[in-house]
Structure 1
Amino acid sequence: MESLSTKPQRVPMFSAFLRSRRIRGLIFLLVSLFGLYYLFLNTTKHLGTTSTRVELNGEGEPLDLTQDTPQRGDSDAGQETPMVVLEKRIQHLIDTNRIMVFSKSYCPYSAAAKKLLYSYTQDIKVLEVDLEDNDADIKRVLTKIARGHSTFPSIFLKGESIGGRDNLQALEEKGQLRPRLEALGVSLV
Structure 2
Amino acid sequence: MASIEIYTSPTCGYCHAAKRLLDAKGAGYAETDVSRDADQKQAMVQRSGRRTVPQIFIDGRHVGGYDDLAALDRAGKLDALLG
TM-score by length of 1: 0.41
Dislocated runs of 4+, deviation >6 Å: none
Confirm or deny that 1:112 pairs with 2:14.
Answer: no
Show the counterpart of 1:153. 54
Show the counterpart of 1:171. 72
Cα displacement (A) at 1:140: 1.9
Mind listing any 5+ residue stretches in structure 1 that lack a counterpart? 1-96, 183-189
Residue type of the partner of 1:155? I
What do the CA deviations read for 1:121-174 (whole angstroms, capped 9, x no partner)?
2421112222x4xx223222211111x122100101001111111110110110
Higher relative contact order (CA 8 A, sep 6+): 2
Higher fraction of strand: 2
Aligned length: 82
Show the counterpart of 1:181. 82
Q: CA RMSD in A?
A: 1.5
Higher fraction of helix: 1
Structure with greater Cα Rg:
1
- After superposition, the Cα gap between the structure-2 partners of 1:99 and 1:144, relative to the gap in structure 1 and judged at 3 Å, is same
TM-score by length of 2: 0.88
Show the counterpart of 2:63. 162
